[in-house]
Amino acid sequence: MPTLTSCITSQFSKRCAIALCAATLFAQPPDNRRPSDPEPDVRLPNGKSQKEEMLKTDYDENLRDLEKIRKLTEGVEADLRKNDRHVLSLKALKDLDEIEKIARRVRNRMRRY
């Protein structure tokens, strides 16, 4: 007749074996690429690098967006100077929300690479 200790040990062993099998089955296959290996450079039909063209486009969009932020900031500053120190117009609040939205878009573009 098995003892209580042997029953507990055998159940624990079975559970460990099941957990190990499940972990093995659901494990993702290893990635054969090294982190230092660069991705292959894709060329556009005109012969230019796709990555370089995307970087150039993102740079131009960032400059346009930053110019919008500058204009909106100047408008908010002028509104603050014009009004009493405890009053802020709804237009200024909407402009501040727009500044946040544009800044988030620029930040996401810059983090992409």
- Per-residue pLDDT of the chain (113 residues), as tens digits, is 555 455 555 665 666 566 655 555 555 555 555 666 666 778 888 888 888 898 999 999 999 999 999 999 999 999 888 877 777 889 999 999 999 999 999 999 998 86
Residue range of the domain that includes 64: 50-113
**CB under 8 A, 24+ apart: contacts of 104-111:** 105/65, 106/62, 106/65, 106/66, 106/69, 109/58, 109/61, 109/62, 110/58, 110/62
Within a domain: 44: no
Task: Supply the pTM of this predicted model.
Answer: 0.59
Q: C-alpha distances in angstroms, 109 versus 50, 58, 95?
A: 16, 7, 21
Domain count, the chain: 1
Query: In this structure, is residue 85 part of a structural domain?
Result: yes
Q: How far apart are the first and last CA of the chain?
A: 67
